[in-house]
A and B are shown apart, each in its own frame.
Chain A
Amino acid sequence: MAQALEVKQMSTEPSKNLVTIKGTKDGLTVLLDDQCSFDELIKELKEKMKKDKQVFGNGPEVEVKVDAGYRYLRSHQKEQIINLLEEAEPILVGEFHSKVITREQAEREKEEGGLTSVAKIVRSGQVLRIQGDVLLLGDVNPGGIIEATGNVYILGTLKGTARAGIEGSKNAVVCASVMAPHQISISDAIFYAPDRYEKKDRKPLFEEPVYAYIANEDVEISFEKARLLGQFLKKTAAQKENSLNT
């Protein structure tokens, strides 16, 4: 009996602050406690919303960010929280952050982010398809295709077709020691080599290793010396970081 009473008292403790609303320069962030039970969290959120509804009133629309800390939320739980928050008319939930992901997602991301190296010749009629980045130790012959969701690096001669960012990544690159391709694509931008009858010789496009990329806001594929690839990768990584943080 005494125990039950204690529990009841604890759960109604208002000073625990399971839900904190914080104003930052980028707007409002709702911080959710990640130690209490989910039910407790929802209960407190409900109470808070009841009180704060008046605060927000019919003011201008505000986009809030939700930070669930180290709690993993199933999608229906996320939905429940978003619905509660948006009960207050002007509130719009923008981003939903959590520091935890499922093992499946982690594995998928690892696969997508990883580099796979393959030592072979991709011959006419063959397709080598890789999740993430690929490093080919060998040539891609005319009529052969190498494709990756990430970047394509070829330590050899690209004479056939290479496709990078096949699931839409516009920052992907195709880099080859010797660039003599039929076709290159990055995301949905395509580069066609000059038709064979237009070419005077069978020399590669460039005298030295180069990478193909989509220049800023452009839909066309450009080429740059491979030794400048580091800079490009750094720049795109920084852009990615920025877009995640806003």
Chain B
Amino acid sequence: MGEAIVITSGKGGVGKTTTSANIGTALALQEKKVCLVDTDIGLRNLDVVMGLDNRIIYDLVDAAEGRCRVQQALIRDKRFDCLHLLPAAQTSDKSAVNAEQMKQIISELKPDYDYVIIDCPAGIEQGYKNAVSGADQAIVVTTPDIAAVRDADRIVGLLEQEDMSPPRLVVNRVRRTQEEDLLDVDDVVATLAIDLLGIIVDDEEVLKASHKGEPIVMNPNSQASLGYRNIARRILGESVPLMAIDQKKSLFAKVKSMLGLKV
């Protein structure tokens, strides 16, 4: 029986879909059986980031309403032995599915996979409730800015009321240089007070990768890729130290400190 993990954040645009695609792909690279589920009905993205948007016939709403079996709606990613995607519907909205139906779909998927990764829409309404309803665990994604952290905190509060283990945290788009007006990772972790699962640097390769339809984690030479691989290893139970690179000083700052100037 596999484990269902929901990737959520409250705020939009912080990297839920990117994180879902890359954690799923990283687990598949480790030869795990993975199913990605896009619950962002009406604004589906996960298929695009995975480069699988040309093959959709049935979707989540079709499966929920019984127009097809869940297995029929799955898209198989040919790059891996077992990485499947259940796409969201693009034509309906969040109310097209309820939490009971969602739970049913996830419980049908779990026996066939090691991990079911659920990409949650932004917000705390129906879409969020659906995404969380079938999950055993949650990963909260935030960027190091005040608004995103505020929303993540709201979500953590809601998740604590669910019957699941405490959520874990991914801080995305961390700049390599310490900037005055951004929170640092320590601030974020101190406020949210949940386990830090990993840090992903801000990396323009991420955007390029989704244009190509090839999640960044498949490119072994990028910093963001390494971050996602580490997260996957932590999900699998390995203890991997946090990357030192994440908050290293910029070259400019390094030179300044070499010259004995205060940074």
Residues of chain A having any CB pair with chain B under 8 Å: 121, 123-126, 139, 141-144, 159, 202
CB <8 Å contact, B157 and A124: yes
Residues of chain B having any CB pair with chain A under 8 Å: 146, 150-151, 153-154, 156-158, 160, 187, 191, 193
Measured CB to CB, the nearest residue on chain A to B191 is A141
Measured CB to CB, the nearest residue on chain B to A142 is B150
The secondary-structure label for the interface of chain B is helix
- B185, chain A: closest CB distance, angstroms: 14
Q: Could you pull out 10 A-B pairs where Cβ atoms are within 8 angstroms?
A: A123-B156, A123-B160, A124-B157, A125-B157, A139-B191, A141-B153, A141-B191, A142-B146, A142-B191, A159-B191
CB <8 Å contact, B193 and A121: yes
Q: Which of A124, A139, A159 touches B154 (beta carbons < 8 Å)?
A: A124
Measured CB to CB, the nearest residue on chain B to A126 is B157
- Which of chain B's residues have a CB closer than 8 A to the CB of A143? 150, 153-154
- Could you tell me the distance between the alpha carbons of A125 and B154 in the complex, rounded to whole angstroms? 6
CB <8 Å contact, B150 and A124: yes
Measured CB to CB, the nearest residue on chain A to B194 is A121
Measured CB to CB, the nearest residue on chain A to B156 is A123
- Could you tell me the distance between the alpha carbons of A143 and B157 in the complex, rounded to whole angstroms? 11
- B51, chain A: closest CB distance, angstroms: 36
- Which of chain B's residues have a CB closer than 8 A to the CB of A121? 193
- Could you tell me the distance between the alpha carbons of A121 and B153 in the complex, rounded to whole angstroms? 10
- Which of chain B's residues have a CB closer than 8 A to the CB of A125? 153-154, 157-158
- Could you tell me the distance between the alpha carbons of A139 and B187 in the complex, rounded to whole angstroms? 13
CB <8 Å contact, A139 and B193: yes
CB <8 Å contact, B153 and A124: yes
- Could you tell me the distance between the alpha carbons of A144 and B157 in the complex, rounded to whole angstroms? 10
- Could you tell me the distance between the alpha carbons of A202 and B193 in the complex, rounded to whole angstroms? 18
- A106, chain B: closest CB distance, angstroms: 34
Given contacts A124-B151, A125-B158, 8 further A-B contacts (CB under 8 A): A124-B150, A124-B157, A125-B153, A126-B157, A139-B191, A141-B153, A142-B146, A142-B153
- A203, chain B: closest CB distance, angstroms: 12
- Which of chain A's residues have a CB closer than 8 A to the CB of B193? 121, 139
- Which of chain A's residues have a CB closer than 8 A to the CB of B150? 124, 142-143
- Minimum-distance CB pairs A-B, first 9: A123-B157, A124-B153, A124-B154, A125-B154, A123-B153, A126-B157, A141-B153, A124-B150, A143-B150
